[in-house]
Amino acid sequence: MNPAEANLAAALADWRAALGAAHVRADAATLAAYQNNVGGLPRAIPAVLLPGSTAEVQAVVQIANRHLVPLYPLSRGRNWGLGSRLPGRDGVVIVDLARLNRIRDINVAGQYAVIEPGVTQGQLYDHLQAHHLPLLLNVTGASRDTSLIGNALERGIGYFSTRAHSLSGLEIVLGNGEILRTGFSHMAGVKTAYGYRHGIGPELDGLFAQSNYGIVTSAGFELMPKPAAAMAVIAKIKRSDQLAAFVEALADLRRRDVVRSVWHIGNRERTQIALGPLVFGQLRQRDPAGDGAALRARAEALIAAAGFGPWSAVCGIPGSAGELRLARRAIRQALRGLAEVLFITDSLLTTADTLSRPLDFIPWVRDQRIMLHAVRPLADLARGIPTDGPMQSVWWPLGELPEHTSDDPDQSHCGMLFCVPFLPPDGQCAKEAMDLTYQVYAKHGFTPFVTLNLVDSRALECVINNAFDRRQPDRVAAAHACNDELTAEFIRRGYPPYRIGPQNTPLVVDAGDVFWQTVRDLKRVLDPNHIIAPGRYNLV
């Protein structure tokens, strides 16, 4: 047994004593489940730990320091397309925080929840609904089972805004084994730990987003007041050469505060895979014994007939009835002659469903009702309701039927990689970025599935998804070559990604850059033994 193996064996014995044997796993089936990933990346993981409290996380880190065994923390492991559950290196023990799933507090007046990293957006939404709390959640289009803290620490983009600034009063087990609380939360008797995130003195919260200094075990998560009304807006253009003008018009609506939430602008391919499984589901309800391939073809035909052009945009607008009327007027005026616009409210969907039900025997009405029910989960996102509906789009490009897929893409043959550069909200820049994307994807034989998220009046996030079959090694290699080339070219043009998978660390982390040197130096203070997530957004 070499020294590393001896250290691991000793650490495992200590972890079993601290957590209980049931929460220290090194069996082949468990390790395989964590090593499986939609990126098709190889990684050797020696063990998985499942602590259930902050005290147990602290014990895990202290034992790791004692035996010099590195750890990789994850909240729910749903970082699909950007690394999934994978550490940056082989031989790193997973610390899965799914058991830290308590909602510690909800403050209605302060509009925040205090949660642990295992709390999912579905769990928090259900809690708000069950207790009839007048609060709204900034949801993402990912599954209900995604972690709120995990996504926020990766600076994920919600349906209404970025989640980068949604956390406050962080509780962190540092790499050196000590517990740090940020903002005002470290002060005894404080009553404003989550109301004013900056605290007094240097603001440390930002050090723990996309970093490897410690393990966040709880935080305040910002919520929004539940509005009196809400609507979803769908805008569609007919020609690809209108994209630049489309982006400019939507950006102008943001600058003028007509729309304060995120515009999600998807290409035709992205719209098809988002709606395809939802329409299929409606068709399957009507024809449980029908041929799956025929139903899939029918779903695609219905989407094509719905008039979604090369680019479509959707956003959610909360407010009073009067504010929604003003927004409708301004949006129609801004997009007149450029895009077809549809406004959807819950009452409209309910009324349309009720009025059309007696006429369902008419083919055209039946088709409209199918589409009406299919878009409801997407409209729900605009009202702050998390859904698993869009997750089926992961398998749709591979020709799979929704009824034959698993709940976790990592445990399937589905392949997925994301390239996520940030652009200015400039129409011509967006057009050039999409020209580049289609060019690189065509070179490698892939179809890009793209969403351009107009985060605010100054930033446009690109989410470029590559879908492939992991059972085909040549396609896995080609997908990585495609993603690497596109990411590198965006960086060369001055538009680096805001998130990366572990395989792309060398594209952004530069040993000659004072920024990354400083990131490394902070690691030496907060985690001197390099225990937490070695190599993750860092030189060490």
Distance of alpha carbon 261 from alpha carbon 381, whole angstroms = 12
What pLDDT does residue 403 have? 74
Strands 422-423, 229-237: pairing is: unpaired
Q: Are 151 and 386 in contact (CB under 8 A)?
A: no
By three-state DSSP, how is residue 238 classified? Answer: coil
Residue 401, number of CB atoms within 10 A of its CB: 16
Q: Residue 310 gets which letter from DSSP?
A: S
Q: Rounded to 5 degrees, what are φ and ψ at 75?
A: -85, -55
- Can you list the positions of beta strands (E) in 226-338? 229-237, 263-267, 311-319
Of 77, 154, 85, the C-alpha closest to 120 is 77
Of 261, 221, 239, the C-alpha closest to 453 is 261
Of 419, 448, 387, the C-alpha closest to 508 is 419
Distance of alpha carbon 502 from alpha carbon 79, whole angstroms = 11
Encode the chain (540 residues) as per-residue pLDDT tens digits: 788 889 999 999 999 999 999 999 999 999 999 999 999 999 999 999 999 999 999 999 999 999 999 999 999 999 999 999 999 999 999 999 999 999 999 999 999 999 999 999 999 999 999 999 999 999 998 889 999 999 999 999 998 889 989 999 999 999 999 999 999 999 999 999 998 899 999 999 999 999 999 999 999 999 999 998 889 999 999 999 999 999 999 999 999 999 999 999 999 999 999 999 999 989 999 999 999 999 999 999 999 888 889 999 999 999 898 999 999 999 999 999 999 999 988 777 787 778 788 878 888 778 888 888 888 887 788 788 998 877 778 888 988 877 777 778 999 899 999 999 999 999 999 999 999 999 999 999 999 999 999 998 899 999 999 999 999 999 999 999 999 999 999 999 999 999 999 999 999 999 999 999 999 999 999 999 999 999 999 999
Instruction: Give me the residue label for tokens 């789009």.
Output: 393
HSE, side-chain direction, 13 A CA sphere, residue 402: 22
What pLDDT does residue 357 have? 83
How big, in percent rounded to 5, are the helix, strand and coil portions of the chain?
Answer: 45, 20, 40
What pLDDT does residue 379 have? 77
User: Quick one: 436 exposed, middle or buried, by C-beta within 10 A (0-12, 13-18, 19+)?
Assistant: middle
- Can you list the positions of beta strands (E) in 130-271? 135-136, 167-174, 179-181, 214-222, 224-225, 229-237, 263-267
What pLDDT does residue 459 have? 94
What pLDDT does residue 149 have? 98
Amino acid at 480: H
Of 373, 420, 416, 418, the C-alpha closest to 395 is 416
Amino acid at 306: A
What pLDDT does residue 325 have? 93
Bridge partners of 415? 468
The two three-digit tokens of residue 506, written as one number: 């060398």
What pLDDT does residue 30 have? 97
The two three-digit tokens of residue 277, written as one number: 């499984």
Residue 187, number of CB atoms within 10 A of its CB: 13
Strands 214-222, 229-237: pairing is: unpaired
Distance of alpha carbon 31 from alpha carbon 86, whole angstroms = 11
